[in-house]
Amino acid sequence: MDTLKINWFPGHMKKTLDSLERDVKIVDAVIYVLDSRAYLSCLNPKIDEIVKHKKVLYLLNKSDLIAENDLKNMLSYFKKQGKTAISVQGTANNSQKTIISALKTLLSDKFEKAKEKGTNPIFKVMVIGTPNTGKSTIINTLYGKKKATTGDRAGVTKASQWVRISDNFALLDTPGTLWPNMNDDDVKFKLALIGGIKKDVVDQTELGFQLIGWLIQNYPSCLEERYQVSGFERETIEVYDDILKKLGCLQKGGVLDYDKGAVKVLEDFRSGRLGKICLDK
């Protein structure tokens, strides 16, 4: 795979990491929101270091966009490491109950101590993750109405904010953040695909082409079903050209429009129209 030229670590992300180090000292637990399609790539090593001494609930969001078997493997991955993970679809009606129940189990020892003292505790929980994993959507689901700003792009949440979601929990919504010196090209590729890196700093035409190459190797049936193309032993560009023709991405004179085609292919992936695709195995 050709290297995607990505260098995006704006100043507000540095400030976010600094504030996370400060705020983590006052919270009882952490909700670590991951995009199920790229759950390993969404694990920010800087955040991992910050929360290593806290109780963490790993929340596999957008789980409807991957296959059931992949989801089972993910949950097994965390369980084997002695970590608590659950899967949700952020906007689903049952997500609120599922997450609050998991938090109560995670903090059961603190609930017991509060019960012995006859108090009704309010636990502080910090919500963290890389950009565009759905943190603010989760906040809104837990709150019961729109409280945090959401959007299908990186960098929507700019500042931390506290939200009371129940008698026992107050959540701190934090901006999504990457990490400095992100050198793993595979991680950059996958985060760019799920919208975790601002589109303005990624060559979308190149990203779309690389996605087709990756799908030929890993999910050729998705390409065949969506675009009615075959012959995947050919060069990637030949398959891509066939896809663009199927999509009608043509300029004047019948010249293929790679920019327009990339946008359509990436939208098909991000919306789930290409099928249930898991980037991290």
* Residues shown for the chain: 281
Q: What is the C-alpha separation between 215 and 74, in angstroms, rounded?
A: 20
Query: How large is the average pLDDT for residues 151-180?
Result: 76
* Least confident range of 150-159, 212-221, 260-269: 150-159
Residue type present at position 218: N
Q: What is the C-alpha separation between 138 and 59, in angstroms, rounded?
A: 10
**Taking the CA of residue 179 as centre, how many other CA atoms within 13 Å lie in the half-sphere pointing to its CB?**
18
Confidence of residue 147 (pLDDT cuts 50, 70, 90): low
Query: How large is the average pLDDT for residues 81-101?
Result: 91
- What are phi and psi for residue 167, nearest 5 degrees? -65, -25
Residue 63 shares a structural domain with residue 169? yes
pLDDT at 252 exceeding the cut of 80: yes
The pLDDT of residue 204 = 95
Q: Is residue 178 part of a domain?
A: no
Q: Is residue 63 part of a domain?
A: yes
Any idea what the CATH number is for the domain that residue 222 is in? 1.10.1580.10
Residue 165 shares a structural domain with residue 63? yes
Q: What is the C-alpha separation between 96 and 94, in angstroms, rounded?
A: 6
The pLDDT of residue 8 = 66
Q: What is the C-alpha separation between 134 and 21, in angstroms, rounded?
A: 21
Q: How many degrees, rounded to 5, is the angle at CA 154 between CA 150 and CA 157?
A: 45
The pLDDT of residue 3 = 56
Structure tokens at 132: 């565009």
Q: Which residues pair with 58 in a beta bridge?
A: 32, 85
Structure tokens at 266: 């990436």
Q: Is residue 16 part of a domain?
A: yes
Structure tokens at 228: 């009615």
Q: Is residue 196 part of a domain?
A: no
C-alpha distances (whole Å) from 191 to each of 54, 133, 135, 199 are: 25, 10, 15, 11
Number of folded domains in the chain?
2
Q: Is residue 181 part of a domain?
A: no
Residue type present at position 54: K
- Residues 6+ away with beta carbon under 8 Å from 72: none
The pLDDT of residue 85 = 98
**Contact (CB, 8 A) for 197 and 131:** yes
Residue 245 shares a structural domain with residue 157? no
The pLDDT of residue 69 = 97
Confidence of residue 5 (pLDDT cuts 50, 70, 90): low
Residue 150 shares a structural domain with residue 210? no
Confidence of residue 150 (pLDDT cuts 50, 70, 90): very low
- The pTM assigned to this predicted structure is 0.89
The mean predicted confidence, pLDDT, of the chain is 90
Query: How large is the average pLDDT for residues 163-188?
Result: 89
Domain span at residue 265 reads 203-271
